[in-house]
Structure 1
Amino acid sequence: MTLPALFIAHGSPALAVESNDYTHFLNQLGDRLPAPKAIVVFTAHWDCPEPSVTMDDTHQTLHDFYGFPSTMYTMEYPASGQPGLANEICALFTRSNLAHQPIRGRGLDHGVWVPLLHMYPEANIPVIAVSVDSLRTPQEQYDIGRMLEQLRHDDVLIIGSGGTVHNLRLLGNTDEPQEWAVEFDNWIGERLQQWNTRELFQYEKKAPHARTAVPSYGTEHIAPLFYAMGTADMSRSAKRLFQSYPYGTLSLNCWQFGDGV
């Protein structure tokens, strides 16, 4: 069985306790997909130069945020790890001569467990987190994702967790989408659907409002998009499954890559 890859905007950590159209969509998405044997998440909240891979049998739940309701700091997502699959990921990186780091004891950051809490609330599917490197080019990020493409053909769900428009300094007081945010997302979306990597990899120069949508201090949030996209290089199909703009500018979108189930 082949599973699609996903790019999921994880939004605010408060998504963990919210009930809205997006959380309902994530609930339904988890129900719609065949149960994977494991989940691999490229997370925007783990940014380091060499790809790092969690090797643990069990994970702690990281509450890597501040200023939120106290109940959120007691929430747990007790998914297990899968060291065998983590070793396979490392072997695929080695095969491509990519330096990487196996990591133990890190835990799952909110970019991993918050969306999975809605998709798979029972936490009964093993999870492996993989870091991103925001300083690499989109082409390099895509190529790293491509190294893991074969996992999708073996019941592994690969997710890039981040956000396309993720400028926290420009959050508004209304959910009415801001025109500039929509224009940026639409530009990205058109090129995803065309699989126009030539322009997409130059989004910083070519996309409207790119500097506003993806500020220099926040490039790690769009990076998972390219990692996830790369894992569907053979089929090269993209479909937007959801889009909304809480606070007017925080893009909550989900993209499916590949021809999987």
Structure 2
Amino acid sequence: MKTPSFFIAHGSPLLALEDNEYTRFLERLGEDLPRPRAIVVFSAHWDSPQQQLTADERYEAQHDFYGFPEDMYRLTYPAPGDPELSRRISELFKSHNLPHQPVAGRGLDHGVWVILRKMFPLADVPVIAMSVDSLRSPNEQYEIGRMLSPLREEGVLFIGSGGLVHNLRLLIHSDEPEEWALSFDAWVAETLESRNLQELFQYDKKAPHAREAVPSYGKEHFVPLFYVLGTAAGGTKAQRMFQAYQYGTLSLNCWKFE
């Protein structure tokens, strides 16, 4: 059986400490999933012009944020790596002539460990973190994910970690969503559920309020969607499993692709 692929919003780093409807959903999701052989996460917080991937035996959690409560800087996520899987991914990239670089010693950024700490709190599933390149075209991002799609048959769980509506300059002091954020998320949902990838690849021209939802300085939070869609290439089903908002415009969403 192929493992499903997911796009999961990581929201604010404070998600790691929060107990709310979304964090409880993530906890249940991890409990309900069959235990994967390993987890590969495309993180919005690793934006690189060259494709990179971790190649560690074990990780430390990066505290790549500032101005948060002291408790945040004491959180850890000592997950194991999987050097063998990292080499397997390198082989797949080589077979498609994709320049790439394995990286050791980087640790896991909060786009990776915040959600995994909720889903797999024992930190006992091997993890590989992957960079994204926000300057590539959506089609290129999709094709990089597609290179890795055979690994779904080997028990590898793919996650794209980011946010579909993520514009920190437009946050408000309310959890009631802004209409423009709802409108953009609804358009994304329609294109995903209809598998209209060509329309989705032109979201910046086609989607309502695309400039507000995916600002030019913040595309890295949206593009993990394209990578993880590529890993589910050939799939026919997209299911929105959760949708909520924080600060009016920060969308907390989970999409499952099979």
TM-score normalised to structure 2 length: 0.99
Deviation at 1:38, TM superposition (A): 0.5
Deviation at 1:143, TM superposition (A): 0.6
Q: Unaligned stretches of 5+ in structure 2? A: none
Question: What do residues 16-68 of structure 1 show as CA deviations (whole Å, max 9, x unaligned)?
Answer: 00000000000000011100010000000000011101001011110000011
Q: CA RMSD in A?
A: 0.6
Q: Unaligned stretches of 5+ in structure 1? A: none
Q: Which residue does the alignment assign to 1:182?
A: 182
Q: Which residue does the alignment assign to 1:6?
A: 6
Q: Which residue does the alignment assign to 1:101?
A: 101
Alignment of 1:134 with 2:162, yes or no, is no
**Secondary structure of 1:248's aligned partner:** coil
Q: Which residue does the alignment assign to 1:76?
A: 76
Q: Which residue does the alignment assign to 1:20?
A: 20
- Give me the whole-angstrom Cα distance separating, in 2, the residues matched to 1:143 and 1:236: 17
- Where do residues 80-229 of structure 1 align in structure 2 (5 Å cutoff)? 80-229=80-229
**Secondary structure of 1:19's aligned partner:** coil
Alignment of 1:53 with 2:48, yes or no, is no
Question: What do residues 195-228 of structure 1 show as CA deviations (whole Å, max 9, x unaligned)?
Answer: 1011100000010000000001000000100101
Q: What is the identity, as a one-letter code, of the residue corresponding to 2:54?
A: T
Q: What is the identity, as a one-letter code, of the residue corresponding to 2:31?
A: D
TM-score normalised to structure 1 length: 0.98
Q: What is the identity, as a one-letter code, of the residue corresponding to 1:180?
A: W
Deviation at 1:138, TM superposition (A): 0.7
Question: What do residues 150-178 of structure 1 show as CA deviations (whole Å, max 9, x unaligned)?
Answer: 11111110000000000001111111111
Deviation at 1:245, TM superposition (A): 0.7
Detail structure 1 runs of 4+ shifted over 2 Å in the superposition: none
- Give me the whole-angstrom Cα distance separating, in 2, the residues matched to 1:54 and 1:236: 30
- Give me the whole-angstrom Cα distance separating, in 1, the residues matched to 2:93 and 2:230: 14
**Secondary structure of 2:217's aligned partner:** helix
Deviation at 1:2, TM superposition (A): 1.5
Aligned length: 258
Alignment of 1:247 with 2:240, yes or no, is no
